[in-house]
Structures are given as C-alpha cells and as structure tokens.
Homo-oligomer: A and B are copies of this chain.
Amino acid sequence: MSDQRKIRLGAFLRGPGHHVAAWRHPDVPANPGLSLKHYAEGARTAERGLFDMAFLADSLVARNGDQPIATFERTGHVAHFEPLTLLSALSALTEHIGLVATASTTYDDPFHMARVFASLDHLSGGRAGWNVVTSADPGAAANFSRDRHLNHAERYDRALEFVTVVKKLWDSYDDDAFVADKASGIAIDRDKIHVANHIGRHFQVRGPLNVARPPQGHPVIVQAGSSDAGQDLAAETAEVVFTAHANIGSAKRFYSDLKGRLARFGRSPGGLKIMPGIFPVIGRTQAEAEDKYDAIQDLIDPVVGLALASGLLGGVDLSSYPLDGPLPDLPESETVKSRFKLVSDLAHDRQLTIRELYKAIAGARGHYQIVGTANDVADLLEEWFTEGAADGFNIMPPIQPSGLSDFVDTVVPELQRRSLFRTAYEGETLRENLGLERPLSGSQLLATQRA
C-alpha cells in the first residue's frame, strides 16, 4: 500500500435504501428494517468492498408518526432496529468493517452512552464509532416525558459536555489496568484507575465506568451537524464529519472552514475526516442510470414527498400551498438550521416548485446525487477528493441491496485502479483503517503534562 492519501468510504445502511420511495421498489424486500439477514448482507457487501465503516442513522420517533394518518400510513421504513443492538449483532457477523451508530445526547445519560459504545468496541475488537447527534426532531420530547424540546443552542451546549463526560468515562482505566493477578489477588492496578468525578452544568457523574478502556481508546467520534454550533462541536470533538452538500463549491467552503477551526482546539487537519454523503444511481450507461432513477422517482407519493420537504424545513406545514407553485418564504428553523438552509437555498437557487423540490430531495435529502456510470461516479469522487472538498464519502444507496452492490462491484474497482482506494484493510480497528491517532490514556496524558 502506498503512502498516498486514500479515499475513506462509509456505507450508510438504511433498510430499503435512501430514496423516500425505495420501499416500493420491486427489488427491495418487504420491511427490511427489521431483517438481520438484510443488514448482514449490506454490511458484508460493504466489507467485501473494503469500506471503512457501515453507518446507521437514528431517530427517537416513529417517522411521520405525528403527521396525519394519511401521511403516516404511506411512510416507509417506520419500523427498524435500534442501532446499538443491530451493530452488536453485526459485529459477530463481520470481521473488519467499522460499525458506526447514531445516538442522541439530548435524551440519554453519558454513563449509558459510554457503556454501550465501549461494549460494542470490545465486542467488535475495536470497530465502533458514535455519530453524536442532538435530535433535531422536536417530536422526541413527547416520547421522553419532556415538556418541550431543547432549543438548538441548549442542545449543543449539552452535547459538548456530554461528549466530554463520555470520554472521561472511557478513560476510567488505563489500557493495561486490569492485571487480574490471581496469585496476589490484585485485579486492578490502583495507579491506573481514573475516576471521572465530573461536575458540570448539565451532568454530575462520578464514575468509574464498569467497562475496561475500549480497544480503540475511544470509539471514533462522528458528527453531522453543519450549523455554526455544529461545526464548533465537530472541531472540538469529532474525528469524522458526515455532511450534506448539493455542489462542490459548498463542500469546499465547508471543508476549508471546518479544517480551519481545528487549530483553535490544538488539533491537526488530518485528525478529522470530512465525508459528504453521496447518493449514486449507477447504470452501465447513462441512459440505464437515468431509467433506474426515473423508475424510483415515479414511485414517490406526493403526500410523502411533501412530508419529507416539510421535515427537512423544520416541520413547517406546506399543505396549504399549491404543489406546483413556488416554495413560500419561511422563517428559519430553530431545530434543523443547516438542513433548512440547504433545502431552502436549493429551492430558491433553482426556482423549484414545491413538487420539484420534493422530487429533487426524495433520494439524497439534500446530499449530492449523481446519476451516471461507475466511471462518472469515480470521476466525481476523485474531483471532490483531490480538490479539497472531501476526505471520503458516505455512500447512500438509493435502494438496497442492489444499490450498494452496484457501487462495490463497479465503482470500488475503478477507484482502486486509480490508486485512490485501498486494496486491503490496513489495520485491525476502525481508527487504524481511518488513519486516526489513538487517544492517550489517563496515565499517558498525565506523563505528557509532567514532561
């Protein structure tokens, strides 16, 4: 393997695939969100393609469950596995691929979160990652006995402290603390225990954790918020950023902005990998790709399309506006700042009607979508990668399982031919494969500070 910088790849697994109408496609099995066989096939296909990671989104509400019944009953992928349990099962069915789960800091406790991700890291031999989100959907509050959803600033303030506490708990013990000396009866080296004793604005957590330090030191921290507060959280804590851009210009600006924030936190640019989402519809010819795309687009139910647009615009009700008229001027959303801007800019820049808007986002939900041959997709990834728009990509298959296997069978070999992608896993852990440093343990940190 040459030392040349390589593209990182994530497989964003979503039961039926990412297109809002994917579940209606003839090639998609019924109710794949609760099929372990289906997810195992996806993860193994990604592993066959030498992907760095499989990535799972999450939500703390049933999608569209608070919408009128006529919308809810037409919504696909409402029922699906909880990510940590699913990835734990997949850890036993895969060997190399990273396993990244989304989990929210707004409706949980750092002790639980530290435990389950440390546990997954041990189960998988160092392949866990945590996509830190703050739950944009205000409906979650009603499922968690809260009067109201926290606003954007409160959520990010809480998230930063939450991640800090989780890392302290992961560092409860040095890597070699559990000496298990049967003869002397000493199970743990007392000099290698670091009790968190955290007292902060949001959390008071004593520790120590009841899991040994994770094989990776810390599971890889992923972040997806692209607002100003989201970028600051990412610059301070994240090692992978998943982000949505509708064009290379936007992606380049984001890339340089976010990498530029790292120095403020004493971090180097290589310590954070930026991976935009890419929604590829791949055909052997351009015409075949377009036919594939049209076949899925034709399955969009207007009711569901409208709900999708409403959701990405922060829950605004669009039902009183004509479908074939323009998107009205809307007040900025307090809950989904960056996605609101992306979608409303898309509508206004391209002067789309509401119907055109939801058709434009029905696949990629604001991420970049490309309809073309494997060579076209490879050209795109190469351009973004070499021109400072991306360190890698989170691939969002339109439908599953064929959307991912198309990519693995046709785009991956082309990227390898161009020496842009690995031909074998370099390391044992997700962190090693991504080329990320292993965090120092508590005692190593103390030694560094003393030196």
From 32 to 79 in chain A, residues with beta carbon under 8 angstroms from any chain B beta carbon are 34, 36, 59-63, 65-66, 69, 72-76, 78-79
From 295 to 344 in chain A, residues with beta carbon under 8 angstroms from any chain B beta carbon are 299, 301, 304
Give the residue among A36, A73, A204 with the most B Cβ atoms within 10 A: A73
Tell whether, in the assembled complex, residue A188 and residue B31 are in contact, meaning their CB atoms are under 8 Å apart. no
Tell whether, in the assembled complex, residue B63 and residue A210 are in contact, meaning their CB atoms are under 8 Å apart. yes
Tell whether, in the assembled complex, residue A72 and residue B190 are in contact, meaning their CB atoms are under 8 Å apart. yes
Tell whether, in the assembled complex, residue B119 and residue A210 are in contact, meaning their CB atoms are under 8 Å apart. no
User: Which residues of chain B are near A207, meaning CB under 8 Å?
Assistant: 62, 65, 143
A408 at the interface (CB under 8 A from B): no
A145 at the interface (CB under 8 A from B): yes
Tell whether, in the assembled complex, residue A143 and residue B182 are in contact, meaning their CB atoms are under 8 Å apart. no
Tell whether, in the assembled complex, residue B143 and residue A81 are in contact, meaning their CB atoms are under 8 Å apart. no
Tell whether, in the assembled complex, residue A145 and residue B81 are in contact, meaning their CB atoms are under 8 Å apart. no
Tell whether, in the assembled complex, residue A212 and residue B31 are in contact, meaning their CB atoms are under 8 Å apart. yes
A122 at the interface (CB under 8 A from B): yes
Assembled-state Cα–Cα distance A23/B183 (Å) = 11
User: Which residues of chain B are near A90, meaning CB under 8 Å?
Assistant: 92
Q: Tell me what chain A mostly uses at the interface: helix, strand, loop, or mixed.
A: loop
A241 at the interface (CB under 8 A from B): no
A208 at the interface (CB under 8 A from B): yes
Assembled-state Cα–Cα distance A134/B235 (Å) = 39
Q: Within the complex, what minimum Cβ distance (angstroms) separates A295 from chain B?
A: 13
Assembled-state Cα–Cα distance A89/B304 (Å) = 35
Tell whether, in the assembled complex, residue B69 and residue A190 are in contact, meaning their CB atoms are under 8 Å apart. yes
Tell whether, in the assembled complex, residue B187 and residue A75 are in contact, meaning their CB atoms are under 8 Å apart. yes
Number of interface residues of A (CB under 8 A): 79
User: Which residues of chain B are near A123, meaning CB under 8 Å?
Assistant: 36, 81, 85-86, 89
Tell whether, in the assembled complex, residue A23 and residue B180 are in contact, meaning their CB atoms are under 8 Å apart. yes
Assembled-state Cα–Cα distance A80/B193 (Å) = 16
A59 and B210 in contact, given A26-B182, A145-B203, A185-B74 (Cβ under 8 angstroms): yes
Complex partner residue of A81 from B24, B119, B144, CB under 8 angstroms: B119
Assembled-state Cα–Cα distance A195/B193 (Å) = 47
A406 at the interface (CB under 8 A from B): no
Complex partner residue of A79 from B25, B26, B109, B212, CB under 8 angstroms: B212
User: Which of A110-118, A280-288, A347-355 makes up part of the contact surface?
Assistant: A110-118
19 contacts between A and B (CB under 8 A): A30-B178, A31-B178, A31-B180, A31-B212, A36-B92, A62-B209, A63-B210, A65-B195, A65-B210, A73-B190, A74-B187, A78-B187, A79-B210, A79-B212, A82-B211, A109-B144, A111-B144, A142-B205, A185-B304
Q: Enumerate chain A interface residues (CB-CB to B < 8 A).
A: 23-26, 30-31, 34, 36, 59-63, 65-66, 69, 72-76, 78-82, 84-86, 88-93, 107-109, 111-112, 115-116, 118-120, 122-123, 139, 142-145, 172-173, 178, 180, 182, 185-190, 193, 195, 202-212, 299, 301, 304
* Additional 11 contacts, C-beta under 8 A, given A79-B212, A85-B123: A23-B182, A60-B111, A61-B210, A62-B207, A62-B208, A75-B188, A78-B187, A92-B92, A109-B145, A111-B144, A143-B205
